[in-house]
Homo-oligomer: A and B are copies of this chain.
Amino acid sequence: MKLGRLNHIGVATPSIEQSIAIYRDLMGADVIRAPFDLPEQGVKVCFIDTPNSQIELIEPLGPDSPIVGFLAKNPQGGQHHVCFEVPDIVAARAWFEGKGARILGPTRIGAHGTPIFFLHPKDMGGVLTEIMETPKDAH
Protein backbone atom coordinates (compact mmCIF):
# COMPACT_ATOMS: atom_id res chain seq x y z
CA MET A 1 0.00 0.00 0.00
CA LYS A 2 1.36 3.38 -1.06
CA LEU A 3 -0.34 6.71 -0.42
CA GLY A 4 -2.00 7.73 -3.68
CA ARG A 5 -3.16 10.96 -5.28
CA LEU A 6 -5.38 13.28 -3.28
CA ASN A 7 -8.25 12.85 -5.73
CA HIS A 8 -10.51 15.41 -4.09
CA ILE A 9 -11.60 17.15 -0.94
CA GLY A 10 -15.27 16.64 -0.13
CA VAL A 11 -17.09 19.81 0.95
CA ALA A 12 -20.65 19.56 2.26
CA THR A 13 -22.95 22.46 1.45
CA PRO A 14 -26.62 23.31 1.93
CA SER A 15 -26.59 24.67 -1.64
CA ILE A 16 -24.32 23.59 -4.48
CA GLU A 17 -25.53 26.63 -6.39
CA GLN A 18 -24.31 29.00 -3.68
CA SER A 19 -21.01 27.14 -3.29
CA ILE A 20 -20.40 27.24 -7.04
CA ALA A 21 -20.84 31.01 -6.86
CA ILE A 22 -18.18 31.22 -4.14
CA TYR A 23 -15.60 29.13 -6.00
CA ARG A 24 -16.34 30.79 -9.34
CA ASP A 25 -16.72 34.46 -8.34
CA LEU A 26 -14.43 34.69 -5.30
CA MET A 27 -11.82 31.96 -5.92
CA GLY A 28 -11.74 32.14 -9.72
CA ALA A 29 -12.59 28.53 -10.57
CA ASP A 30 -13.12 28.13 -14.29
CA VAL A 31 -13.64 24.38 -14.63
CA ILE A 32 -16.93 23.61 -12.90
CA ARG A 33 -18.45 20.29 -13.90
CA ALA A 34 -22.20 19.81 -14.30
CA PRO A 35 -23.89 18.87 -11.00
CA PHE A 36 -25.59 15.47 -10.89
CA ASP A 37 -27.57 13.31 -8.47
CA LEU A 38 -25.92 10.30 -6.85
CA PRO A 39 -28.94 8.60 -5.27
CA GLU A 40 -26.89 5.60 -4.03
CA GLN A 41 -25.04 8.00 -1.71
CA GLY A 42 -27.98 10.30 -1.03
CA VAL A 43 -26.21 13.38 -2.36
CA LYS A 44 -26.14 15.79 -5.27
CA VAL A 45 -22.54 16.23 -6.47
CA CYS A 46 -20.54 18.90 -8.30
CA PHE A 47 -16.83 18.67 -9.10
CA ILE A 48 -14.69 21.78 -9.42
CA ASP A 49 -11.19 21.33 -10.84
CA THR A 50 -8.04 22.80 -9.38
CA PRO A 51 -4.85 22.45 -11.47
CA ASN A 52 -3.83 19.35 -9.49
CA SER A 53 -6.96 18.00 -7.77
CA GLN A 54 -10.69 18.57 -7.36
CA ILE A 55 -13.20 19.96 -4.91
CA GLU A 56 -16.30 17.76 -4.58
CA LEU A 57 -19.32 19.76 -3.47
CA ILE A 58 -22.01 17.56 -1.93
CA GLU A 59 -25.56 18.66 -1.10
CA PRO A 60 -28.20 16.49 0.58
CA LEU A 61 -30.47 14.62 -1.81
CA GLY A 62 -33.61 14.38 0.31
CA PRO A 63 -34.21 14.33 4.09
CA ASP A 64 -32.57 10.93 4.61
CA SER A 65 -29.24 11.97 3.12
CA PRO A 66 -26.25 10.83 5.20
CA ILE A 67 -24.94 14.41 5.29
CA VAL A 68 -28.07 15.89 6.90
CA GLY A 69 -26.55 15.43 10.35
CA PHE A 70 -23.28 17.06 9.31
CA LEU A 71 -25.15 20.10 8.00
CA ALA A 72 -27.26 20.30 11.16
CA LYS A 73 -23.97 20.75 13.06
CA ASN A 74 -22.41 22.92 10.31
CA PRO A 75 -25.29 24.89 8.75
CA GLN A 76 -23.04 26.80 6.35
CA GLY A 77 -21.33 23.61 5.22
CA GLY A 78 -17.71 22.61 5.72
CA GLN A 79 -14.96 20.09 5.11
CA HIS A 80 -16.61 16.66 5.05
CA HIS A 81 -14.04 14.14 3.79
CA VAL A 82 -10.83 13.67 1.82
CA CYS A 83 -10.32 11.10 -0.94
CA PHE A 84 -7.15 9.22 -1.90
CA GLU A 85 -6.71 7.01 -4.96
CA VAL A 86 -5.62 3.39 -5.00
CA PRO A 87 -4.83 1.26 -8.08
CA ASP A 88 -6.96 -1.73 -6.94
CA ILE A 89 -9.95 -1.35 -4.61
CA VAL A 90 -10.13 -5.07 -3.74
CA ALA A 91 -6.51 -5.17 -2.68
CA ALA A 92 -6.93 -1.90 -0.76
CA ARG A 93 -9.96 -3.19 1.14
CA ALA A 94 -8.07 -6.36 2.07
CA TRP A 95 -5.11 -4.23 3.21
CA PHE A 96 -7.23 -2.04 5.51
CA GLU A 97 -9.15 -5.04 6.87
CA GLY A 98 -5.85 -6.73 7.62
CA LYS A 99 -4.76 -3.63 9.54
CA GLY A 100 -7.97 -3.70 11.59
CA ALA A 101 -9.22 -0.37 10.24
CA ARG A 102 -12.98 0.11 10.39
CA ILE A 103 -14.61 0.36 6.94
CA LEU A 104 -17.98 2.08 6.65
CA GLY A 105 -20.27 -0.14 4.60
CA PRO A 106 -19.69 -2.08 1.43
CA THR A 107 -17.52 -1.14 -1.51
CA ARG A 108 -19.75 0.76 -3.92
CA ILE A 109 -19.60 2.90 -7.04
CA GLY A 110 -18.66 6.50 -6.27
CA ALA A 111 -19.11 9.84 -7.95
CA HIS A 112 -16.34 9.16 -10.48
CA GLY A 113 -17.91 5.86 -11.54
CA THR A 114 -15.21 3.72 -9.91
CA PRO A 115 -15.47 1.65 -6.71
CA ILE A 116 -14.95 3.39 -3.38
CA PHE A 117 -15.28 2.84 0.35
CA PHE A 118 -14.89 5.00 3.43
CA LEU A 119 -12.58 4.55 6.42
CA HIS A 120 -13.96 5.48 9.84
CA PRO A 121 -12.63 8.84 11.05
CA LYS A 122 -11.78 7.29 14.41
CA ASP A 123 -9.04 5.27 12.71
CA MET A 124 -7.86 8.25 10.65
CA GLY A 125 -7.20 10.96 13.24
CA GLY A 126 -10.73 12.34 12.96
CA VAL A 127 -10.66 12.61 9.15
CA LEU A 128 -13.41 10.80 7.22
CA THR A 129 -11.34 9.23 4.44
CA GLU A 130 -12.58 7.91 1.10
CA ILE A 131 -10.54 5.32 -0.76
CA MET A 132 -11.22 5.37 -4.49
CA GLU A 133 -9.99 3.21 -7.34
CA THR A 134 -8.26 5.40 -9.93
CA PRO A 135 -10.37 5.75 -13.08
CA LYS A 136 -8.81 3.75 -15.93
CA ASP A 137 -8.69 6.76 -18.26
CA ALA A 138 -7.37 9.26 -15.70
CA HIS A 139 -4.05 11.04 -15.37
Contact = CB atoms under 8 A, between A and B. Distances in A.
Contact of A30 (B3, B26, B48, B50): B3
A111 B48 CA distance: 26
Contacts of A63: none
Report copies per complex.
Answer: 2
A22 interface: yes
B53 A6 contact: yes
Contacts of A50: 3-6, 84
A123 to B, nearest CB: 7
B1 A27 contact: yes
Interface in A6-24: 6, 9, 11-13, 18-19, 22-23
A89 interface: no
Contacts of A25: 99
A136 interface: no
The 9 lowest CB-CB distance pairs between A and B, nearest first, are A78-B126, A1-B28, A79-B79, A76-B126, A77-B126, A3-B29, A2-B28, A6-B53, A77-B125
